[in-house]
Amino acid sequence: MKYELYYWPGIQGRGEFVRLALEEGGAEYRDVALEPDAVKRIREYLEGAAPRPPFAPPYLKAGRRLIGQTSNILLFLGEELRLAPRDDAGRLWTHQLQLTVADFVDEIHDVHHPLGPTLYYEDQKPESKRRASEFVSQRMPKYLGYFENVIERNGGGALVGRRLTYADLSLAQVLAGLRYAFPKSTANALRRRPRLAALEDRVFARPRVKRYVASPRRLAFNNDDVFRRYPELGD
């Protein structure tokens, strides 16, 4: 099966969680973000060129199907690319962890957009600063502590079972993003959570992931993206 990934050009964003699954799964795919008319083509579907239109990118074309919502795409790819357990309980548990990663990503995004996605960061800087301080002191430790605990209960090497799942790939991407956005707090937090740090290393040492990250297709973290480095936020 050849896939087509639709996501905004110039950022990793939520599309990156899908890319990491496609890459680790060895899938053949076309990344529309790399094509010159990407934005136009994305908008066609958003404005209704599909019987089941997505609300927002990323979405994945798989044959005649168009699948939206990052976690839903990963639920689909988990089965297709064997990046999740095959039994029903393991499949749902992996998805539950992914949804918790997605909630974490939403909160990371909201640090620089506390007043909502319709205003620029520059119009909400004092509010961002307050939210950043709550995030780093309260929310980030809560999420990281949760995932560290899940890995520990699972025997230490991954979130679910022995093999890596798409939830591990996504969590490792979040850790890399946090290191970019909040370097001091993240380094401190991961020093006390060795299983998370080891998971990040394990994921980024996978041959296919490593090859992808070293390729020009992997964009750098940047401040138009979900993870943003604003030193004025105090980290």
Question: What are the residues binding its own copies (CB under 8 A)?
Answer: 48, 51-55, 65, 67-69, 71-72, 75-76, 89, 92-93, 95-96, 99-100, 103, 106-107, 110, 114-119, 127, 130-131, 134-135, 138-139, 143, 146, 149-150, 153
Closest CA to 41 of 27, 61, 22: 61
Q: How far is the CB of 65 from its own copies (least distance, A)?
A: 6
Task: State the number of CA atoms in the 13 A half-sphere of 107 facing the CB.
Answer: 20
Tokens of residue 49, six digits? 């060129």
**Minimum CB distance to its own copies smaller for 101 or for 209:** 101
Q: How far is the CB of 131 from its own copies (least distance, A)?
A: 5
Tokens of residue 9, six digits? 């050009």
Query: For residue 5, what are the β-bridge partners?
Result: 31, 60
* Calculated CA dihedral for residues 143, 148, 151, 153, nearest 10 degrees: -100
Q: How far is the CB of 43 from its own copies (least distance, A)?
A: 14
**Minimum CB distance to its own copies smaller for 133 or for 219:** 133
**Minimum CB distance to its own copies smaller for 25 or for 68:** 68
- Residue that is written with structure tokens 């998805």 in the block: 95
**Minimum CB distance to its own copies smaller for 100 or for 186:** 100
